[in-house]
Amino acid sequence: MAWQRWRLSLVVVLAAAAGLAVGSATSWRGLAGLAVLAGVVAAGMLVAWVVVQPGRLAPTVPEEELAEITDAKDRLEATDARLRLRHDLRNGRFQTLAVIAGLAGAVLGFWQLADARSAAVADRELTRQGQASERFTRAINQLSDKRVETRIGGIYGLAQVAKQAPDNNRPVGEVLLAWINRLARPKKPPTAPLSEHAPDVQAALTVLTQHDKDENGIKDYAWLVGRLDLHALSLIHADFDGADLHGANLAGADLRLADLRGANLSHAFLGVADLRGADLTDAVLGSANLSNADLDGANLGATDLRSANLGAADLSRANLGAADLSRANLSGADLSGARADDRTLWPVGFDWRRAGVQPA
């Protein structure tokens, strides 16, 4: 009977709490009051559960029952038994609350630790971005210095910024590309490598075309693929060994004696480019546009020229040993004096001997 009364009281309290919650949500116009009310209701229910309910589950022995017990010792034991039961119930519930409080404290501590860790990570990220921004600005200022070694330091400083803060890859690449294109370099004799007469330009080209990969296989400056604009630049004797120039615009560029061994020039635009004496051994020029390009004396040994456009290109005296020219457009190309061997692959039906190619 006592438990039924307790359940009824609990239902009444919960119903009252629900009514007050709805009323507070509409009248207080916010969650703050609702949270306070919920806390008060929860505290009241805990007090009732710990203090009130044990008394109902183990009520005091009624006077009429005690009167029926004639022996004083038995009467005392009956009273003590009820008191001990009530005490044990309350102690058990206090212990339960202590365990719950301990668990709540552990959860709260974990949340606080997670928040502190997130705040520390955010602080480190802000610090990293601030440091990267400071180095970025300092490196850009170095590009305008009169001393070439300072300019080279600025170039590799920008490369470090991009490496340590990959989200800066694009601005770093844009700055270096704009800086290279803004330079007005005088023509130099083909015997003078770019690394000697313009080492800062060579350094910038190396940074932009020698891509490193991160743990996900993504290349630095990957956004530059197909957008690298180096047209009409003087890049005599430049070092592009193993460079990634996929889709680059090198139209009209002076690439005499350039080292392009193993370079990826697939889909690149090299129309009217000067590639006399350039070393393109093992380079990939699949689907590249080389129309009207000057490749006189160039080394195209084992070069991939499949589907390349070599229309009206000058290939006189070029080395074509083991080159793959299958499906290439050789319309109007000058092949007089070029050398080929039995490993050279030609377009179907092309008469290389009639074109003036000499066997190696």
What whole-number percentage of the chain has pLDDT above 70? 69
Q: What is the pLDDT of residue 168?
A: 84
Q: Compute the Cα dihedral for 277, 282, 284, 285 and give only its sign.
A: positive
Q: Compute the Cα dihedral for 130, 135, 138, 139 and give only its sign.
A: negative
Distance from C-alpha of 233 to C-alpha of 271, rounded to nearest angstrom: 13
The pLDDT of residue 67 is above 90: no
The pLDDT of residue 25 is above 60: no
The pLDDT of residue 34 is above 70: no
Max Cα-Cα span within the chain: 137
Q: For the chain, which residues make up each domain, given as ranges?
A: 125-223, 225-360
The pLDDT of residue 203 is above 90: yes
Distance from C-alpha of 41 to C-alpha of 249, rounded to nearest angstrom: 74
Query: Domain spanning 225-360 has what CATH number?
Result: 2.160.20.80
The pLDDT of residue 18 is above 80: no
Token code pair at residue 255: 């690439």
The contacts of residue 234 (CB under 8 Å, 6+ apart) are: 185, 186, 187, 188, 253, 254
Strands 358-359 and 339-340: parallel
* Nearest residue to 315 (alpha-carbon basis) of 285, 343, 342: 285
Q: What is the pLDDT of residue 22?
A: 52
What number is the average pLDDT over the span 119-125?
A: 76
- Write the DSSP assignment of 141-162 as a string of letters: HHTT-SSHHHHHHHHHHHHHHH
Per-residue pLDDT of 282-308, as tens digits, reads 999 999 999 999 999 999 999 999 999
Rg, C-alpha atoms of the chain: 42
| Opening angle at CA 68, ends 64 and 69, nearest 5 | 120
Type of residue at 223: W
* Averaged confidence pLDDT in the chain: 81
In a 13 Å sphere around the CA of 286, the CA atoms on its Cβ side amount to 7
Q: What is the pLDDT of residue 118?
A: 81
Which 3 state secondary structure label does DSSP give 288? coil
Per-residue pLDDT of 106-116, as tens digits, reads 888 888 888 87
Q: What is the pLDDT of residue 1?
A: 46
Q: What is the pLDDT of residue 246?
A: 92
